[in-house]
A and B are shown apart, each in its own frame.
Chain A
Amino acid sequence: MNGAIELDFWDIGFAATIVVGLGILLAYYRLGVTRTLSIASVRLVVQLFAIGYVLKFLFAEGKLSYVAIMAVIMLIVASREIMARQKRRLKGWRSFGLGASTLFVSSFAIALFGLLVVVKPDPWYLPQYAIPLLGMIMSNTMSAISLSMDRLTSALHDNRAIIEQRLALGETSREAILPYLRDCIRTGIMPVVNSMATAGIVALPGMMTGQILAGALPTEAVKYQIIIWFFIAGGVGFGMAAALKLLEMRLFDERQRLRLDRLS
């Protein structure tokens, strides 16, 4: 029960025939996603092989400074992704800054907590633990932040006339946008809550499956999966709350006027 079955390039090639077949089918019916699918498949292969070598190097070196550099790169890429997914962005680099700061505070804090208090590898920044842990928390937090920010800006934009009339009746800016805020928080956190509620019944979570394939005992693998979900829920919830709060502060000014002119 030690180590997974090794795959060679032929194995990957056989697996790829499935996607090639799908691409041909989609092209035949002119559904127009073949191009996107092939680009995504190529990106998948290139990116994962690259990260495989990077991680191999990081694990061999095991230096804190390298782990930190890796973490910063992940943060920058994720923040750029948050910005890219906004239909209406804040002017300048503020969407990037807002995404980066809230992502940083929530996911780094929780990953540190996980490493120092819960998992306690030796040294605490052991890349085999630190990088996957941070990556899982950050990717989920990134999705939640970008989704909820996008929804809030769209909701305020679409309902600006209603918000203005609510303000005119003497409501505070918070009261005037509360229904939209609630909706955004729901949208952001529901995927996590649903995954937690169905974990193990409908789907075996990816990380746990990976550990089992690599030869770990299922009873041990589930423990990791449980703490990971708690960390993800925390990262998603805190990150989103911070991002929405900052966005709200930006979209209303000191006289509680709706400032959609601050969106580009």
Chain B
Amino acid sequence: MYWQREYETMSREQIRKVQLERLQALVKRLYNEVPFYQQRFKEKGLLPGDIKTLEDIKHLPFTTKQDLRDTYPFGMFAVPMEDVVRLHGSSGTTGKPVVVGYTKNDLRIWGNLIARSMVMAGVTKNDVVQNAYGYGLFTGGMGIHYGAETLGAAVVPMSGGNTAKQLMLMQDFGTTVLTCTPTYALYMAEEAHAGGVDWEKIKLKIGIFGAEPWSNEMRRQLEESWNITAVDIYGLSEVLGPGVACECRYKKGLHINEDHFIAEVIDPETGEPLPYGQRGELVFTSLTKEAFPVLRYRTRDISVLYADKCECGRTLIRMERVTGRTDDMLIIRGVNVFPSQVESVLLEFGETEPHYLLVVDKKGTMDDLEIWVEVSDRMFSDKVRGLEDLEKRLRARVLSVLGISAKIRLVEPKSIPRSEGKAKRIIDKRPK
């Protein structure tokens, strides 16, 4: 099933043609309408006409989050405010948010891209979609909402929280699709299993989860506890909001909506583009957005692109689900390590909410990695052998997932410092 088959199944040649035409038009628009970009082009001695092939994108300047902050609030807009019909903001925890704007046409395209994503996941207009993404400045709630309406499904605009009511309506309305963050879906599942829910009345089939990185192990937990198919949806407000990419039912990476975005993976250190199959930082260029277009936006999300054909029939390239952020990437003995990889190992060991800390230090000339893991009731045994065996199995699993050896240190619960309820994941003691 497709929503816009002509775009979703184009040949690579066609898609590249569409991308080049749209990129050339975008560059012209940015040069003429956004002083920030004109300045950047001039610094690089570039003119819009210099973009002759898709590969020329590598000459174009990057856009960073800092650039968006510096132009707060509307400095990056490429249309007059009279054409802007919606404003959203990124969820910056510190300082001012990054503001993004949409024209009517932007909203129409966004709605279609979400509808495309939902159809990829198996949603039809007969479904009841309970949308538990937060409504507000955050793009998740309204983005999914209008996308589900575009598709023609019935949307229940629940927003986040109020779990008891979520569960009640889920039973009474016969909700078939749940959209929210994976952690909230897991929390709801725990509450539902704790009692008071008539499982005969739960009709859920599909979960579309996103807005935060999650692991395949977490997918397994979600699919089992709700008895659903769970797919990952990706997006960020600076580029669009949800709907930049989404998994199909084969769950082999997220199809990127390439007729509207060019995805690149670059080496976060050098900025050089990397070939398909190599892990690096995701960079997106929005091709069709009118109010708030971005050129080569550095997401800081780490992923890999795959161009081989998907069984679903879509020719859109796929990105591996985001496994980490460049912000928390550690380079240990030359290997890129992400805390999320450690988390996925601990999830495999049955921890639903693992607390851990990566402590990196220098021992002589060698980098030394210690992973502190808070012992839970589930892990604990009265036998020394039991705990030593656990350490050994964790060490072996970490070695195979991270590719480097680490010392596992079991620590008491709550001994890893937390700030605002969130645990700190890295202490890097190496001299800079």
Q: Do A and B come from one complex?
A: no
